Amino acid sequence: MSLRILIVEDEPALSMMLRYNLEAEGFAVETIAHGEEADLALRENLPDLLLLDWMLPGISGIELCRRVRARPEGDRLPIVMLTARGEEAERIRGLKTGADDYLVKPFSIPELVVRIRGLLRRAKPERMADRLVAGDIEIDRATRRVRRSGHEVPLGPTEFRLLEFLMSHPGRVHERQTLLDHVWGTDVYIDDRTVDVHVGRLRRVLNKGDAKDPIRTVRGTGYAFDETFGKP
């Protein structure tokens, strides 16, 4: 999926393991190891979910959680705290500060994934539905398949994420940099013309024959999924 998760964790091995497993689940993942750096990143661009270690260099996880919740844009951001502190008083403190969920290390990755999906399903139900349908195009997120008029459309991983993101926001015009951030990730440094190349590939595979093109090009800006696509 193109939903973005920010992991703030200073243990490199755990951070790498979390990133690997969450990317395997289809999420776009960014990792940060320092509290101050995370605070700056969160002020500039909120992820869809924050996975936050309690003990961090610089600003602590609990303080970072408090700061996020104090800002209007961070009021509804799903936050999961990770900690070695298992005492009830510490769990209550974390939840009172604004965390939505709390996992004590060591924890089960499958359990973490279930909890993340549960939080995202409540926070962004339109993005977490198993199926996205617009006109004769259908995305099955569970199987990572796309069909048009009942026929399977063979898309690569990047084209799949690109179509999924555009279909999740019908009518909204996305600048190339926005698409790069959500489809490729904010820590990947590539030219924004890469978006044009992948949109072209997506169109060639998706629009066979005389099929209508659902992707609208906005000159000088970027791309949008036509909000009227499939409507009479």
Structural domains of the chain, ranges and CATH numbers in brackets: 4-125 (3.40.50.2300), 129-225 (1.10.10.10)
Pairing verdict, β 4-8 and 28-32: parallel
pLDDT digits (tens, 9 = 90+) for 207-220: 988 889 999 999 88
For residue 1, pLDDT beyond 50 = no
For residue 232, pLDDT beyond 70 = no
pLDDT digits (tens, 9 = 90+) for 6-29: 999 999 999 999 998 888 777 889
Fill in the DSSP letter of residue 10. Answer: S
Q: Is the pTM of this model over 0.75?
A: no
Residues in the chain: 232
pLDDT digits (tens, 9 = 90+) for 143-192: 888 999 889 999 998 899 899 888 888 888 988 888 887 788 766 677 77
106 upstream amide cis, omega within 30 of 0: yes
- C-alpha distances in angstroms, 56 versus 65, 80, 128? 12, 15, 30
For residue 205, pLDDT beyond 70 = yes
Residue 113, judged by CB atoms within 10 A of its CB (0-12, 13-18, 19+), counts as middle
pLDDT digits (tens, 9 = 90+) for 90-128: 667 667 788 899 888 888 888 898 889 889 888 877 666
Pairing verdict, β 4-8 and 49-53: parallel
C-beta of residue 206 within 8 angstroms of C-beta of residue 163: yes
